[in-house]
Each structure stands twice: as C-alpha cells, then as structure tokens.
Amino acid sequence: MKIVIIGGVAGGATAAARLRRLDEKADIVLFERDTYVSFANCGLPYHIGGVIEHREKLLLQTPAGFKSRYDVDARVLSEVIAIHPDSKSVTVREVNTGRSYVEGYDKLIVSTGASPLKPNIKGVDNERVFTLRNMSDMDRIKATVAREGIDSAVVVGAGFIGLEMAENLKKAGLSVTVIEQLNQVMNTVDYPMAAMVHRYLRSQGVNLLLGETVTAFEPKGDRLRVQTKSQKAIETDIVIMSIGVRPETGLAREAGLTIGCSGGIKVNGYMQTSHPDIYAVGDAVEVTNLVTGKPALIPLAGPANKQARIAADNIVMGNSRTYKGTVGTCIAKLFDISVGAAGATERQLQKEGIEYITSICHGSTHSGYYPGALLISLKINFSPNGKLLGAQAVGFGGVDKRIDLLAQVIRNGGTVQDLQEIEQAYAPPFSSAKDPVNMAGFIAENILQGRVKIIHWHDIDTRDPETVLVDVRTTEEYQAGHIDQSLHIPVDELRGRLGEIPKGKTIYIYCKIGLRGYVATRILMQCGFEAVYNLSGGYDTYACVKEG
C-alpha cells in the first residue's frame, strides 16, 4: 500500500511515524513545501526571545532522519498543487526548480494546517510587518530583532501566540505594545479572567491598547507608524501580525472534498473526508465541539497529533478508531503567570443559546501554611442541572494541573458534583486538602442547592439605589479600598450588628474573594433576611475588572 501525506509538521509527521510502526511494508511519501519537517512550531516565539537558545532544538526530525529511522520518503520544498481523487494522484511542484510531476497513492492524508490571517489594510505587506508560522518566519523575525536600532515592536492581536510573542519580544529587550480589537486579551477566557491578565501584563511593562482596530501601516523613515481607528498613531520598528489563523483548504476545495460549515475540511469520526481514500487531520479540519455538539475549528497541536494517530490506525487496520471531538483545552505562560481554559466561554454559551451559571473562586496552589503558596483563580461555567460546560484558570503556579482535571470532567460530560469528589495527590507542598478544583465544585453546589444566591462584578454598578451593599472584610482591608456606598460590618461582628442592616431590602454582600461573603450570607439568610446575594469572586475580582 502506498500512502501519501501532504504536510510535514504536527499532524503529517505524526501520521508518517505511526504508519511505519504499524506497517513495515507500506510505501510512505511525505510532501512539505517548506524547508523543514517536524519542527516544534509552538516553540518558535521562545527562540526569538532567547528562552530556547539553540534553534536546532526546535527541529524534531529531518528528511534524512525520517528515512533512516522510519523509511519514510520525506520530500521538502515540494508543494502539492493539486489532488486528483479520481486517479488517486497528486501533482507536486518542486519549489526550487519549478518542475512538476504526478505522484500516485492508495491512501492520502491531508495535513495542510492553517495560515496566519493578514487583513487587507494599507501597508500590511511592508517588510517590517511579520507573521509567524514556520522556521523561516522565526529566523527573519529574530534576525530583525537583533539588528542595531531595533528597540520597539507592536503586536496586533492578543491571542495566545500574540501574547507569547509580546513576552518574548520584551525578553529580547524591546518595548512592546499590543493592539487588540476586542476589549480583552485571550478570547478563550471570560472577561474577569482576562482582566487579571491585563493587570499583570501592564505590571510587566507591556502596553495594552484594547478595543482598538489597526487601519494602516505607514512608513516613517526607517520605522513604521501604526494607525488605529480611534486616530491613535504608534511609531514602531517592527510589527507582528497575530490576529488568528484560517484553515488551508484550497487543495481540498479544488479536489471537490466537502468543506464543513465552519470552513474546515469536513471529516467523519474516522478522520475520513467525503472521499473514502482521503483522510484529513489537524488545523485544516472541522471537529466536533464536545460542549456545544456543533462543528468547530479548534487549531491546537494536541488534537492534531491525536487525529493523525487515529487516521493512521484506520488506514492500516480499517476504520475502527474514532475521534470524538475536543473541548479546546489550552494553556499559555506569560512571564510568570499562566492562563488555561477548556470548554465553552460565556460568549460561546450565549451565542448557542445554552443556559448557564458561572462562578469564580480564588485559592492557593498549595496549603497556605507551607512556604511559597501562590494565587490561583478558577472560573467555571455550568448548566442549571450542574453539568460542567467550561473552565478557566489564571495563576502563578498549578494552572496546568487544575485545567487538565477540569477538562477531563468536561470531556466526560461530568458535573460540578464530580469536582467535589476529585481525588488529587495531597501533601502541603503540592495542594490543599480542599483543592481549588474541589472548592469550585463546593461553591457551584451551594448555588444550585439555593444555599447562596450570587451576583457578579457587573451587577454592582447597575444595582438599584435601594440595594444595601455590605463589606464584611476587616477594617484594614476596608480602608485600603472598598466599593463606594458600602456599609462596613466585619463578618466576625455581624451577628451582633444585625440591627444595622435593614430588612425588606435587597442586600449585596462582598468580601475579599467570596468565602467570608458566603459565611455572612448564610448568617443573614438564617436570621430572616431574604434577598441576600454574595459577590462571586469578591472584591478582588471586582477591583481587577474595574481597572480594565
């Protein structure tokens, strides 16, 4: 059997290696239009910033290595320009010579990936405007950054790659401005969590321009002037465009393969396209979002590798393994903070008309009495019957551990009750007896059982003037900062000062992170106060969001 693979990075390279391990006799040919195969594209920003010092560390395999270890014919600088399903062949163009030839196949795997979006605006093709997709892009950016006189950069787009580039450009010694069209960074998390990232990035010297749209890049001497819709003008030495990616489906479209409603190549559970002898994997394909149940584009390296393995198994052993879908589990490190997410955001749930409840909790990476405990914040979105729909984490440690646990509960269709019962390895240096994940479950159950009613940060400023706002923190905390027009009664004094709180009115309670607010809410509810609400995430969340 002869198997041809189009694309030699994550999905294609994984499929090639798996195919060989399953079938020593197969004839495997891999085509890659770039100079390199099997490189670590997720690591590219870190070489630019000098975190990964040696670029060869990013090269996981070479054509010669593929041949010697896997007996795979990996042809670089070879671009497939057409797929011919009827004749089961592809047309290949050699990039260096321009020569074209036809290569036949029995089975074909399409792993063409996704390409960076480039908006149609004035000056976007200027030589100082870069995108980052491959090793060559990385080399050009790094060489430019290293030139004398290059000391500033603008990053357009505040997704994961854009912010990783911002971090690494700062580490390379540049001043950095990030411009984002949305009012927040990282659309994979909800606004309160993004606000924590805003505060931290600014503390690291990154200038954030949110809710801004770039309208033009104009040369000014040997620099660029970046123009925005609000008439701002930022002068810079280089620009990194990072506004997202689109699946590379041109070959599939021209070959008559079905393209899904999301714009990716449509595949079944076997990773098989509309043509039975052609499979597709990675960023170019449409997958099922396991929360919404609908087709989606979720370009992540982990799913791409898993899809490639499944496609290889099905080619060799017959269609027997299925890819069920993804919840979009992702994480990024930005300086010393980590941001992770899985499942659906509030925006996605609202768009799909899915009813949900949300709550925020703040905790520590491990027991507070053990030295070195760091802040970690969790936000979960869940249905009125308790099904976990989405989770997000921001913190200075342990984010990966928590988001992985939460992702598996979402993937398995689990509930907030499951969060309460998760068993984690516990010792004071590693966690708490009641881990933040367990605490998120406890809080959600209290909400569902009616033991507490909650409000969110945006409810504070839109409250009815008759609402009574009660701050139950200590005097020192209150004096350091509080919400205007709030009555101050520390929780430990509350039972003796109930007479100061009017009955028959709506009462909003808040503390630092929500825990003392919950205690105060329970006291009031059991003492005859009815419309009592606790501020989810407490004053810490409210103050952070108000900073923007």
Q: Is 544 an active-site residue?
A: no
- Is the distance from CB of 266 to CB of 273 less than 8 angstroms? yes
Amino acid at 91: T
Residue with token string 């950095």: 176
Residue with token string 């440690």: 397
Per residue, the 3-state secondary structure of 501-530, as one string, reads CCCCCCEEEECCCCHHHHHHHHHHHCCCCC
Which residues contact residue 394 at a Cβ distance below 8 angstroms, ignoring those fewer than 6 apart? 189, 193, 196, 197, 337, 338, 339, 340, 376, 377
Residue with token string 């394909």: 285
CA distance 321 to 437: 32
**Which residue of the set 42, 261, 511, 544 is catalytic?**
42
CA distance 401 to 407: 10
HSE, side-chain direction, 13 A CA sphere, residue 136: 6
CA distances from 223 to 150, 166, 203, 237 (A): 9, 19, 27, 5
CA distances from 534 to 269, 284, 416 (A): 44, 45, 19
* Helical segments of 89-190, H only: 135-145, 160-171
What value, to the nearest 5°, has the Cα angle with vertex 306 and ends 300 and 308?
A: 100
Amino acid at 348: Q
Catalytic center residues: 42
